[in-house]
Amino acid sequence: MTDFERQPDDVLAELVALREADAPTHGGRVLSYVYDSGLAELDDLAARAARLVQPVNGLDPTTFTSVAAMESDVVGFARRIFHGDASGAVAPADEVVGSVTSGGTESCMLAVKTARDVWRAANPDDERMPRLLAPTTVHAAFHKAAQAFGLGLDLVPVDPETGAPAVADVAARLDADVALVVLSAPSYPFATLDPVAEVAAITSRHGIALHVDACIGGFALAFQEGLPDWDLAVPGVTSLSADLHKYGYAPKGVSVLLQRGRDRQRRQYFATTGWPGYPVVNPTLAGSKPAGPLAAAWAIVQVLGEPGFVRLTARATEATRAVREAVDAIEGLRVVGDPVGPLFAVRADERVPAERRVDPHHWADAARASGWHLQLQPGMVQADGRVLARTAHLTVTPVTDSVVGELVPALVAAADAVRGVPAVDGAELVSGLAASLPGGTAGLAAASAGLDSDTAAGLLGAFGLLGGEGAGGALPDRLAPVLALVEALPGRLTERLLVELLARVVEPRG
Ligand SMILES: *Cc1c(COP(=O)(O)O)cnc(C)c1O
The pLDDT tens digits of the residues spanning 52-61 come to 999 999 999 9
Question: Is the C-beta atom of 291 inside 6 A of ligand 1?
Answer: no
CB 297 within 8 A of CB 75: no
Any atom of ligand 1 within 6 Å of the Cβ of 141? yes
- Which atom of ligand 1 is closest in space to residue 106's alpha carbon? 9
Q: Above 50 in pLDDT, residue 304?
A: yes
Q: Which of 243, 268, 300 is the last residue of a domain?
A: 300
Question: In this structure, what are the phi and psi dihedrals at residue 40, rounded to the nearest 5 degrees?
Answer: -60, -30
Q: Residue 87's pLDDT is what?
A: 59
The Cα-based distances of 399 to 27, 159, 404 in angstroms read 6, 32, 9
Residue 484 scores a pLDDT above 90: yes
Distance CA 256, CA 102 (A): 9
Query: Of 300, 328, 355, at which residue does a domain stop?
Result: 300
Q: Residue 185 in contact with residue 196, Cβ under 8 Å? A: yes
User: If residue 18 lies in a helix (H) or strand (E), which one and from where to where?
Assistant: helix 8-20
User: Measured from the CB, is residue 293 less than 6 Å from ligand 1?
Assistant: no
Cα of first residue to Cα of last residue in the chain, in angstroms, is 28
Whether the CB of 165 sits within 6 Å of ligand 1: no
CA of 210 to the centre of ligand 1 (A): 17
pLDDT at 17: 97
| pLDDT value for 232 | 98
Q: Tell me the CATH number at 119.
A: 3.40.640.10
Residue 434 shares a structural domain with residue 293: no
Q: Is residue 128 part of a domain?
A: yes
- In a shared domain, residues 435 and 295: no
Asked whether residue 470 carries a pLDDT value surpassing 60, the answer given is no
The answer to whether position 260 is within a domain reads: yes
Q: Is 464 among the domain residues?
A: yes
Yes or no: say if 129 and 155 are a contact pair by the CB < 8 Å rule. Answer: no
Ligand 1 contacts CB of residue 203 (under 6 A): no
Indicate the SS3 state at residue 186: coil
Same domain for 279 and 130, yes or no, is yes
Residue 475 CA to ligand 1 center (angstroms) comes to 22
- Residue 323 Cβ < 6 Å to ligand 1: no
Domain span including residue 120: 52-300
75 and 213 inside one domain: yes
Q: How far apart are CA 497 and CA 464, in angstroms?
A: 12
On whether residue 261 sits in a domain, the answer given is yes
Nearest CA to ligand 1 atom 7: 104
More confident residue, 447 or 179: 179
Instruction: Determine the distance separating the centroid of ligand 1 and the alpha carbon of 141, expressed in angstroms.
Output: 7
Top mutation candidate among 32, 34, 100, 105 for ligand 1, by most atoms within 8 Å of CB: 105
Q: Looking at per-residue confidence, does 357 or 440 come out higher? A: 357
Cα within 13 Å of Cα(308), Cβ side: 15
Cα of 40 vs centre of ligand 1, distance in Å, is 24
DSSP string, 65-129: HHHHHHHHHHHHHHHHHTT---TTTS-GGG-EEEEEESSHHHHHHHHHHHHHHHHHHH-TT--SP
Establish if 10 belongs to a structural domain: no
Ligand 1: does its nearest atom lie under 6 Å from the Cβ of 103?
yes
Average confidence (pLDDT) over 378-404:
97
To test ligand 1's pocket by mutation, which of 100, 188, 241, 343 has the most ligand atoms within 8 angstroms of CB? 188
Q: Which pLDDT score, from 0 to 100, does residue 463 have?
A: 81
pLDDT number for residue 469: 47
- CA 153 from chain centre, in angstroms, equals 18
Mutate to test the pocket of ligand 1, among 35, 108, 395 (most ligand atoms within 8 A of CB): 108
The set of residues, in sequence order, having a beta carbon less than 8 Å from that of 470 and lying 6+ positions away, is 509
- 90 vs 79, which has greater pLDDT? 79
Tell me the CB-side half-sphere exposure of residue 354, using CA atoms within 13 A.
Answer: 3
Strand partners, 239: 211, 259
Amino acid identity for residue 342 in this structure: P
CA distance 237 to 183: 10
Any domain includes 372: no
For the chain, how many structural domains are there in total? Answer: 2
What DSSP assignment string belongs to 214-263?
Answer: -TTTHHHHTT-SSPPP-STTSTT--EEEEETTSTT-PPSS-EEEEEESHH
Q: Output the CA 104–ligand 1 centroid distance in Å.
A: 4
Q: DSSP character for 23?
A: P
For residue range 162-178, list pLDDT tens digits in order. Answer: 999 999 999 999 999 99
Contacts of 120 (CB under 8 A, 6+ apart): 130
Can you name the residues that pair with 153 across neighbouring β-strands?
132
Measured over all CA atoms, what is the biggest interatomic distance in the chain, rounded to whole angstroms? 71
Q: What's the pTM?
A: 0.96
Cβ neighbours for 405, distance < 8 A, ≥ 6 positions apart = none
213 CB less than 6 Å from ligand 1? Answer: yes
Q: By mean pLDDT, which of 224-233, 234-243, 396-405, 452-461 is the weakest?
A: 452-461
Last residue within a domain, chosen from 300, 329, 348:
300
Tell me, yes or no, whether 35 lies in a domain.
Answer: no
Gap from CA of 108 to ligand 1 centroid (Å): 8
Residue 462, Cα to own-chain centre: how many angstroms? 30
* Closest ligand 1 atom to 255 CA: 7
Residue 184 CB–ligand 1 contact under 6 Å: yes
Return mean pLDDT, the chain: 94
Q: Beta partners for 134? A: 155
Strands, DSSP E only, in 313-455?
333-335, 343-348, 375-377, 380-381, 387-388, 391-395
Strands 280-282 and 152-156: unpaired
**DSSP H or E stretch at residue 282:** strand 280-282
In a domain, 496, yes or no: yes
- Closest C-alpha to ligand 1, atom 8: 104
243 lines ligand 1 (CB under 6 A): yes
**Which of the four pLDDT bands, split at 50, 70 and 90, describes residue 468?**
low
